[in-house]
Structure 1
C-alpha cells in the first residue's frame, strides 16, 4: 500500500461525520463513535434548547442513547490526526498540491508530475520515488557506517597513545596534564556530536521515502563536510582543524609509526608457490620440488612471514591490486598445514578474504560479509598484541575494514598469506 492510499484511509477514519472535516479536539461517546468536541456539543445544546428536560441524546451515527457527561476526550486520536496532517503535507507538492511521485536527482528533492514540466526542472534527471528511496538509503547507511568506524578507530588509537604516555606526566607540570584533559574532553564532546549525527542519519533511514529524500543531498553534503578538532597522536600541544579525509591521514600516520619489515619464509611456502629472491613477492606457479619440513603448508597454497610477534604493536602492508582473490592476516605457529581447514580464530587464524565472486569477507564463525565502498588496493594489517586486536585497513585512504578482538594472545603470531591463481601478492617495505 502506497503512502497516498494509507493517508486516504486514515483520513476517512479521522473525519467527523457531522462537519465532514478532520476532527478537532475529538471526543468519544458511550457507543464508541467520535466527533469534533464542538460539533457534538453543538448538537446537545440544540436539542436542549428545543427540549430542556432531555437527559440523554441520540448518537448522530447509530442513534444509541448517551449522556452529556459521558463525553471523553480522545488524545490518542488527536495525535493520530496531527500525524495524518503531517503525512498529507509531506506527500503533496506545496506548489501544485499533487503527489510527490518523482525524485529530481539534480536538485535532490521529491517533485510532482507538474514540477517535472516546469523550466526549473527541465533537462534534469527524474526517477520514481520508490526507485530513489533504496539507493539513497544505502548511501546514507554506508556513509554512517564509514564515519562511525573511522571515528571509533581514531578514538581507540588516541586513547591507547594517551595511556602509553601517562607515566611521563608525573614529571611534567600541571599545565601539560591540563592540556591532556582538555584534549580528551574535546574528543568526547566531538564523539557525542558525531553520535548525534549518526542518529540523525539512522532516523532518516527509518523514516518514509519522502522523509529520507527530503534534502538528502544536503544531508550527505553535511556529513562529508563535517569538521572536528583532533589532537595529534603523540604531541599534546598541537591541534588542527581536520575534515574526515584528514582524519584518515592521522590514522595512516599513526599506523606507519608501527610499520615493520615483513618478508616471506620459503620454508613455509606450499610447493606450488614461487617466491622472489628478496622474499617480498609471491605468486602461484608450477609444482616446485622443495625439501619437506614440518613448517611447510601441504594442503593449501599458503606461506608465512619470516618475522613472528610475541608482544607490542606491529603493522605491515600488502599490495593486492594485481589480483582479484587473496587471504591474509595473522595465524598461530601450530595451525594445521597438512589439511584443508577454514582459517578462523577457532583454528588459530585471524584472516580476511577477497574474492571476485563474493567480495570482502571476515573469516569469523560464521563469516561476515564486509560492505566496502571500494575494492582495497593495499591492505594494512595492524596487531596490538596486548590488547588482543588484529585490524585491517584499506590504503592509501586509511579507512577501516575490520577488527578481530580477543581477550588476549599468548603465543607467537605470524603473518599469513594464501595465494590464488593469477593473484600475486607483494609485501611493501617500511617507508623510509
Structure 2
C-alpha cells in the first residue's frame, strides 16, 4: 500500500494544475509553482483568462510573473518520466505490487501476493510474459476469423449493391417496355377507331343514299298518282257525252297504275365494334389483318432451300440454282412473294428453337449482291432473334431488345399509311418493338435471313 501511496503522491506533484495532466516540459515561475510550458505561456499570451488586464498572475496564488521568470525544471521532468514508466507497468490495486502473473481460471492479471490469497489459491497461473504470446495467438486467430467474416460481409454487400443496380436497370427496362406496349396499343386503337368510324361513315352514306333514292321514287310515284286523280276528277265534272268520250282508255290507264314500294332497309348499323374485346385481345386484333405469305425461291441465296409449298426455308449448303437478278448472293436471305403497298398487313413467322434469324420487311428493290448493314436507311426494317448474339432491332445503331426468352412465333405488323413496322411475341401477345415512323414510297416485301441451322416456317393464316 505504501508503494501505491508514494506513486500517487509523485503523480500529484507531477500534475499540471491548469490542464490536470502530467506536465509536458515543466517550468516554474517566480512564486515557485510549476506548470506545463504551453499552459503557462497561453496565460502570458491571453492574460485576461486568469489574470488582471495589466499583468499575468499565477493561476494558484495570483502572484504576478513575467515571461523572463520561466525556468525549466529538469529534475521534475525526470520524475514525470519515472511516473509515466510506473503507469505503463500496471500494479495491483490491493497490494501495490506489479501484475506479473495471469490467473487462467479468473482470466485476470494478479501479483505474487494475490496468487497466495484465498481468492486465487489453487488456480492455474502463468507468467504474463508466457501467457501473453499464447493469448495473442488466440486473439490473432479470432481476428483472422473476424476478417474472414468481414470480407464475406463486404462481398455480400457488393453483391447486394450489384443486385440493386441490376434490379433498378431491369425495372427501368420493364417500365419502358410497359410504356412502349401501351403507347403502341393506344396508337393501334386510335387507328382502329379511325377505321371503324370510316366504315361507319361509308355505311351511313350508302344507307342514306338508298333511303333518299327510295324517297325520290315514292315522290315521283305520288306525283303521278295525284295527276291521275286530278284527271279523273275533271272527267267526272264533264257532261255525260264528254265523260263517256274515251272513258274506257281513261279507266284502263288509271286502273293500271301500280305502287312500287321500296324494300325495307334495316335500321340497325352493320358496323359494330367491341372496344373491350379489341383492347383485351391483341392477337385477335392483329389477326384481323393477317395475310398469307409464301417464299420466293427466285430470291433465295444458293445456300437456302425453299420447300415445295414455299412456307419453309432451311440453310444447308450451296445448291445449283439459276442466276436471277433478284437472287441474294451475299447474305443468306430470301423474300416473300407478296408485295405490300397501301393498307395494313400482318403475318407470322415460326422461328422454332434454332440459333437465330433476321426477319421483317424490306423495300422491293434493295440490292441483293452488296455487303451492307441491314438498317432502315438501307431499306430494311427487321429484328434479330439470336441466342448467341442476343436479341436486337436492326436500327442504326442496333437497339437491344429486353427479351427474357426467345419467342417461338413472331408476328410482324405493317401499317403502310402510318409508316410503322411492329413485332409481337405471339405466345404471349406482348409487344417486342416498333420502328420509328417512316415514309414508305415503294412496295415492301417480307424479308428473312437464316442462320445455320435455323429453319423458318410461315404458318398459313388459318393456323
Task: Compute the TM-score of the two structures, normalised by the length of structure 1.
Answer: 0.52
Question: Per the alignment, in what secondary structure is the counterpart of residue 150 of structure 1?
Answer: helix
User: How big is each residue's C-alpha offset from its partner over 1:232-288, in whole Å with a ceiling of 9 and x where there is no partner?
Assistant: xx8446647xxxxx96x5211110101111010111111111111100111111211
C-alpha distance in 1, partners of 2:274/2:313? 44
Residue 196 (structure 2) pairs with residue 160 (structure 1): no
Match of 1:354 among 347, 369, 385: 385
Please state how far the C-alpha of 1:356 moved relative to its aligned partner: 2.6
* Residue in 1 that maps onto 2:359: 328
Cα distance change, pair 132–360 in 1 and its aligned pair in 2 (3 A): closer
Question: Per the alignment, in what secondary structure is the counterpart of residue 428 of structure 1?
Answer: coil
The question of whether the paired residues in 2 share the 8 Å contact of 1:394 and 1:401 is answered with: yes
User: How big is each residue's C-alpha offset from its partner over 1:94-151, in whole Å with a ceiling of 9 and x where there is no partner?
Assistant: xxxxxxxxxxxxxxxxxxxxxxxxxxxxxxxx99752542243234223312321221
Summarize the alignment of residues 146-225 of structure 1 with structure 2, pairs less than 5 Å apart.
Answer: 146-169=177-200
C-alpha distance in 2, partners of 1:309/1:256? 16
Residue 427 (structure 2) pairs with residue 396 (structure 1): yes
* Residue in 1 that maps onto 2:439: 408
Residue 301 (structure 2) pairs with residue 270 (structure 1): yes
C-alpha distance in 1, partners of 2:356/2:274? 44
Match of 1:255 among 286, 292, 295: 286
C-alpha distance in 2, partners of 1:361/1:128? 28
* Residue in 1 that maps onto 2:348: 317
C-alpha distance in 2, partners of 1:300/1:142? 32
C-alpha distance in 2, partners of 1:305/1:326? 15
Cα distance change, pair 292–405 in 1 and its aligned pair in 2 (3 A): same
Match of 1:289 among 305, 320, 339: 320
The question of whether the paired residues in 1 share the 8 Å contact of 2:352 and 2:408 is answered with: yes
Question: Per the alignment, in what secondary structure is the counterpart of residue 458 of structure 2?
Answer: strand
* Residue in 2 that maps onto 1:427: 458
* Residue in 2 that maps onto 1:208: none
Match of 1:369 among 400, 412, 418: 400
Cα distance change, pair 425–166 in 1 and its aligned pair in 2 (3 A): same
Cα distance change, pair 307–168 in 1 and its aligned pair in 2 (3 A): closer
User: How big is each residue's C-alpha offset from its partner over 1:144-197, in whole Å with a ceiling of 9 and x where there is no partner?
Assistant: 123212211211111001111223555899xxxxxxxxxxxxxxxxxxxxxxxx
Which protein is richer in strand relative to its size? 1
Cα distance change, pair 238–284 in 1 and its aligned pair in 2 (3 A): closer
The question of whether the paired residues in 2 share the 8 Å contact of 1:331 and 1:414 is answered with: yes
* Residue in 2 that maps onto 1:380: 411
C-alpha distance in 2, partners of 1:267/1:142? 41
The question of whether the paired residues in 2 share the 8 Å contact of 1:330 and 1:416 is answered with: yes
The question of whether the paired residues in 2 share the 8 Å contact of 1:322 and 1:425 is answered with: no
- The structure having more radius of gyration, on CA atoms, is 2
C-alpha distance in 2, partners of 1:376/1:137? 24
C-alpha distance in 2, partners of 1:328/1:411? 19
Cα distance change, pair 285–312 in 1 and its aligned pair in 2 (3 A): same
Residue 176 (structure 2) pairs with residue 145 (structure 1): yes
The question of whether the paired residues in 2 share the 8 Å contact of 1:300 and 1:418 is answered with: yes
* Residue in 1 that maps onto 2:232: none
Question: Per the alignment, in what secondary structure is the counterpart of residue 405 of structure 1?
Answer: coil
Please state how far the C-alpha of 1:383 moved relative to its aligned partner: 0.4
* Residue in 1 that maps onto 2:336: 305
Aligned length: 242
C-alpha distance in 2, partners of 1:375/1:427? 17
C-alpha distance in 2, partners of 1:427/1:172? 36
Consecutive unaligned residues of structure 2, counting only runs of 5 or more, are 1-156, 205-270
